[in-house]
Each structure stands twice: as structure tokens, then as C-alpha cells.
Structure 1
Amino acid sequence: MAATLPIIDLQELQQSSSSSGKLREACEHWGCFRLINHGVPVSLMSEMKKVVGELFDLPIPVKRRNVDVLSGSGYIALSSMNPLYEAFGLYDIGSTAAVHEFCDQLGASPHHRETILKYAEATHGVAMTVAAKMAESSGVLASDGAGLFEDWACQFRINKYHFRPETVGSAGVQIHTDSGFLTVLQEDETVGGLEVMDPSDSGYIPVDPVPGTFLMNLGDLATVWSNGKLRNVKHRVECKEAAVRISIATFMLGPPRYTVVEPPAAFVDGGRPRLYRPISYEEFRVMRQITDKQAGEALELLQGPAQPLSTKFDVNSLPADVLAQIQDID
């Protein structure tokens, strides 16, 4: 019998501490879970998908206006090297000004802008609330983690997969882990393809779409932050049918640039010394890309006495073709 993902009720989690153990187990064992009763109206989720579809219908020259000063954001077009998906991106939906700039770039209508702003605020709130509950369920004291995630960037990425008959059976996205802390994913309601690793046997199980819910994935930074206690989930996207698949992802990345990530005291003691050296999210994301270690193996590079490249490493000094690839896709 196939394993099923844990289901976490956010409303219940906020009202009672009795659900904390279930959340902790999901984060430690699976590294992912289905989130229900999250407070984001289903009508807003549905409207956002409609808006996304209309944005992807814009002329290519307009879509190419979606650029950002930081890597991993901005429009990615279909190409011979990237024939299956295109994507829009925005570095931090926590910045209202940045969301307005995104809308300006694409000439968003007043309705599109209103929908995008509401959705960005809502999913940013979900990410922050769930991250705080993850910390609380793991024993991080308020004094140790108060305001911990408040200034962490939340990258916004909208993906459109163009699955064709000849691509059925192939990989839409290879096996990988997300580089950041936590991902809030709105899946396509009708077209599946996402698969996550089953921790019991290292096989992959399909994640069937469930309308009105979010899939929450923990990334590499959650493992670093928790000193190895929280699991980073490996996942992939398989082309199951010839159809268009749209996903909307909010990636909670990490603290501001060059701020190093270290585990709170709750995760370190005499019986559990530090597993990873301090590193900034910016450096870690670049390190993953230039070493081509995209499925969690980059964490091994943080073990032992090795020193980081530089806490002042400038990601924008990399070649443009490398910058275009430093991102998370689901």
C-alpha cells in the first residue's frame, strides 16, 4: 500500500498545541506535508490561477520585461535547452513595492494587480506562520527565535509546463531539493506529475492534486537551521500526460544577504554537536549551482572544518548563463 503524505490543519495548529507533535513528525520524517484550513480563500487561489494563465498568454516581448536585480527571479522562456517549461519570478513577495514592480513590468490590469497583491500577502503570511509553528514544535523558545523569520525573503515563482505527447514518460524537472527553508506550493488542480521521496524506502510516490490546499516542502536550509533535525525532501516532476500544468510557488529562502544561518540553541547540545558550518543563504545557493549538487548533497560540503567561499560572495559576479539557472522550480 502506497504511503500517504501527512496532513496538517493550520487552524487546528493555531488553536491547540496538541497538533505540534504531528507537525514535528511530518517535518522530521517526511520533510513535506499537505496543509489544509490555511486561511487563504479557495476563490483567491482559483482567481490567481486564472490570472497566471493570462500572464503566460502575454506576448514574449512583454513577458521578457519580468526581470529582477537578483538571481533566480525574472522570466524564463522556452528554449531548445529548456523545452518544457517557462516561468515568471519575483525575488521577495514580502515587499509590496517589489510586487507592484512585478505588476508594472507585465502591464498588469487593475484586477490582475489586486489579485496578485492579495495572493502574495496571503501566501507570505502562510509561510511565516508555518515557519514559526515549525520552530515552536521543535522546542525553539520564543526568546531564542522571536522574529527569526520576519526579514527572510520569500521568492515567488510561477511555472507553466508544456507537456506534449512525445514528452510523456520523461522528467519535467529532475530530482532535487529546494535550496531554501520552506516552500508553499499551489499545485495544478487537474494535472499532476509531482512526486516526493518516500522516506521509508527511498522510492518516489505521486502527489495527487488536492484543490484548495497547499503542499509544503522543507528545503536544504531547514536542515542546516535545525542542525540536521528537519528533513529536506527530494522531489521531481514527471510528465504523465500531454497537458499544460501550472504551479504557483512561494519559496521562503533565508535571512538577508550575507547573514549566516546557524541553529538555535534547541538544536545543539553535548549529545548533538553542530553538523554544519555557518553559511549565508546567498552563498549556499550559489555553491549548490557551481558544484551541481542539487539534491541535498551540497549539505555534505558544509560539514567539517572547510571555510566558506566568502560571506561577501557576490552572486551577480557569476556569468549570466549561470545566474539564469540558480533557482528552484516545482
Structure 2
Amino acid sequence: MSASTTSIPVIDFQDFDPTQSQKLLQASKEWGCFRLINHSIPPTLMAEMKSVVRTLLDLPVEIKQRNKDVIAGSGYVGHSKANPLYEGLGLYDIASIDAVIEFCSQLETSPSQRETIIKYSQCVHELAMDIGRKLCRSIGIRINMDLFEGWPFQFRINKYNFTPESIGSSGVQIHTDSGFLTLLQDDDTVNGLEVMDENSGEFIAVDPLPGSILVNFGDIAKVWSNGRFCNVRHRVQCKEAAVRVSIALFVLGPKEVAVEAPPELVVDSECPRLYVPFTFEEYRKLRLSTGLRAGEALALVQNTK
């Protein structure tokens, strides 16, 4: 599949008027991703966090391996046969200050590094909550509490060791994210991320835009929206011999409550409930057990009544 020169939508969060609200809804449905500009994370904090991340990913392997899983894949991930160019560190829930401090302790961060990580985790968490509020308003959902209240917010920092020999190969295979939403601070200079245009089937190169945050929708967003939101398929390609670093926040799904579309999105027999209710943990295990990582697992939870 070739890469297109089309670009993904850009949404301005500073003056979020009805026009921007409509753009948000349209991007959610047609693309399943968009770039945020003029958001609430200070540029200086983004730069400081990127510097800390590079230092942590350059730590000796024996220290990085102290970053243990809470759920499968939430801790340190080393090079593998499937993704030989990738490694990353993780934190299961940045909404928990205790979990953030434990993550810092595992990696023996300095006091200044710890301060940066805590500040960044608080800012990116609040930005995710704000996106949830704006999504609800844009699609016409009125709820008594924030959409993502009480959900785990998994945090991952990623490193791709691209070499001259790896140019043209995949850093990460084609997949969808299993959760609802991903906020990505990608590399400011090194290309590689591509998303699929569902209409054409072509991959769109997502070029760096310094200071912006890339937002992707995952499988849970498609279920919650009753099929309205696109769970965007994406990949990372090696395009140059360089180290590529990114910072990702994954808004997963409710811990114990079943995932299902709100009543407002299940209108009548013309718009029935498309998926049976299930917990995020059930769906995560389904994806792991079947190996279906690019949205195909949703077919297994479709409502057949």
C-alpha cells in the first residue's frame, strides 16, 4: 500500500467554537485521528519531557527491565522478532500519583526528572479529560460526569532504533489501538508514523508538527460511538537512519463497567446497538488470545440480534 500526500485534520483547541467542534466530530468519524494545536501542555514542558524520555530510554537494559508489567505489555518491552527496531517503557495508570512515583523509582530518576514526569503526566491527563468532554458535547451526549472519569490512562515512551539497513522496513506493524483514545507527542524531526485513509486504503504520512499532539481513536471508541468513530489503522515505517522517540498516553476503557454505546447513539431499529456490552479487560484478552491487532477482533463482539 502506498503513502498519500493527503494530510490529516488539524484542530485548534484555543478557541473551541462551534466550527472547531464540528471539525472534531468530522475528524473522529472520517479519519479517527487529528492533530491538536494550541492545547494546554506548555511547549517548554513538552521539550523537557522529550529530553527526560531520551535519557530514560538510553539507560542500561538491566535498569529498564525493572519497569515491570501491571497488565501484559504495560512495562518494559525490549526488541522482539516481530518488532526488532522497537523498545519502550510504560506506566499502567498516570492518573495515580503513586504509580507515577513508583515508575520514577524503578528507573532511578533524578529529582528534576521526577518533577518533569509528574508535571507532564498531570497536564496530559487533563488534556485527555478535556478531549472527552468536548467529544461528548460535539456528538450530543450529556452525561453527569467526565466521560473518562476513573478510567486507567496507560503511558508509554517509545524508541525506534532505525539504521541504514532498516530503511523501508516496519518499526511497528499495522494495528489499531485497543483503547478509546491515544494522545501522542511524536518525534519533532524524524518521520515514520503513517495512518490509513479508510476510504482509499492508502497510508498517509503523518509528518512532524512541533508543539502539536496527535490524537488517535481505538477500538473502544468505535464501540462507544456505536460505529460512528473510526478506529484508525496505523504503523511506523523506517524512512531514515535515525533514532525516533515518541511519548504516548492511552485512554484505555472503564475498569469494571461494561463498554457500550450511550442510549442517545442507539436511536431505533434503523440505528441498533452494533456491539454487545463487554469490559475493556475482556476485550484486551480477546485481542491477545486471537492475535487480531488491527480492529478485526471487533467482529467477535458484534451484536447479532
Cα distance between partner residues in 1 of 2:183 and 2:80: 27
Matched AA of 1:3: T
SS at match of 1:261: coil
Deviation per CA, 1:112-140: give whole Å up to 9, x if none: 00000011111111111111111110010
Deviation per CA, 1:165-205: give whole Å up to 9, x if none: 11110111111110000000001011110001123311001
Aligned residue in 2 for 1:310: none
- Would the aligned equivalents of 2:226 and 2:265 in 1 still touch at CA under 8 Å? yes
Following superposition, the deviation at residue 68 of structure 1 comes to 3.3
SS at match of 1:62: helix
- Would the aligned equivalents of 1:181 and 1:222 in 2 still touch at CA under 8 Å? yes
Aligned residue in 2 for 1:209: 208
Deviation per CA, 1:294-316: give whole Å up to 9, x if none: 1111111111359xxxxxxxxxx
Matched AA of 2:259: V
TM-score (norm 1): 0.88
Matched AA of 1:84: L
SS at match of 1:279: coil
Aligned residue in 2 for 1:20: 21
Cα distance between partner residues in 2 of 1:82 and 1:181: 23
Following superposition, the deviation at residue 83 of structure 1 comes to 2.1
Aligned residue in 2 for 1:132: 133
SS at match of 2:109: coil
Following superposition, the deviation at residue 82 of structure 1 comes to 4.0
Aligned residue in 2 for 1:311: none
Residue 47 of structure 2 corresponds to residue 46 of structure 1: yes
Cα distance between partner residues in 2 of 1:81 and 1:305: 34
- What pairs up with 1:163-182 in 2 under 5 angstroms? 163-182=162-181
Aligned residue in 2 for 1:223: 222
Following superposition, the deviation at residue 79 of structure 1 comes to 4.5
Matched AA of 2:206: V
Aligned residue in 1 for 2:76: 75
Aligned residue in 1 for 2:235: 236
SS at match of 1:293: coil
- Would the aligned equivalents of 1:288 and 1:298 in 2 still touch at CA under 8 Å? yes
- Would the aligned equivalents of 2:129 and 2:146 in 1 still touch at CA under 8 Å? no
Cα distance between partner residues in 1 of 2:26 and 2:94: 29
Aligned residue in 2 for 1:300: 299
- Would the aligned equivalents of 2:5 and 2:205 in 1 still touch at CA under 8 Å? no
Aligned residue in 2 for 1:3: 6
TM-score (norm 2): 0.95
Aligned residue in 2 for 1:255: 254
Following superposition, the deviation at residue 141 of structure 1 comes to 1.4
Following superposition, the deviation at residue 12 of structure 1 comes to 1.6
Structure 1 residues not aligned, in runs of 5+:
307-330
Cα distance between partner residues in 2 of 1:122 and 1:222: 22
Following superposition, the deviation at residue 69 of structure 1 comes to 2.6
Q: How many residues align?
A: 301
In angstroms, what is the RMSD of aligned CA positions?
1.4
Structure 2 residues not aligned, in runs of 5+:
none
Following superposition, the deviation at residue 81 of structure 1 comes to 5.4
